[in-house]
Amino acid sequence: MKAWRLRSPPALFTMSGCIGPGHGLSMVEIEQNGAMTTATAFDRNPQLVVPRRFKRNAPQVLAMAPSADTGLWLLQYMAERIGIPDLAGLDILDFGCGSRFAEAITTHDIPLRSYVGIDVYKEMIEFLTQNVNDDRLSFHHVNARNPKYNKSGDPLMPETILPIGDKRFDVICMFSVITHQLPHDAQAIFAILRRHVKESGFLFFSASLGEGDFGYREHDAEKPTELSVYSKDLLNELLEREKWRVVSIEPESPRDLPILDSILCVPA
- Can you give the pLDDT at residue 25? 32
- DSSP symbols for 139-150: EEE--B-BTTTB
How many domains, in total, are found in the chain? 1
Q: Which domain holds residue 198?
A: 51-267
pLDDT band at 148 (very low <50, low <70, confident <90, very high): confident
- The whole-number pLDDT of residue 56 equals 84
pLDDT of residue 100: 96
34 located within any domain: no
Q: Phi/psi zone of residue 98: left (φ > 0), alpha (ψ -120 to 50 degrees), beta?
A: left
pLDDT given for residue 57 in this prediction: 83
CB atoms within 10 A of CB 149: 16
Query: Residue 180 maps to which CATH number?
Result: 3.40.50.150
Per DSSP bridges, beta strands 91-95 and 169-174 are parallel
38-92 pLDDT per residue, tens: 433 334 335 789 999 999 888 888 889 999 999 999 999 999 999 999 999 999 9
pLDDT at position 47, please?
72
Answer yes or no: are the C-beta atoms of 94 and 138 closer than 8 Å.
no
Please report whether residue 44 resides in a domain.
Answer: no
Q: What are the tens digits of pLDDT across the range 18-40?
A: 332 222 233 333 333 344 444 33
Rounded mean pLDDT, 170-181 = 97
In a domain, 9, yes or no: no
| 43 falls within a domain | no
Which alpha helices (DSSP H) does the chain contain, by range?
A: 59-64, 67-82, 100-108, 122-131, 183-194, 232-241
Provide the percentage of residues in the chain whose pLDDT is more than 70.
83
DSSP reduced 3-state for 108: helix
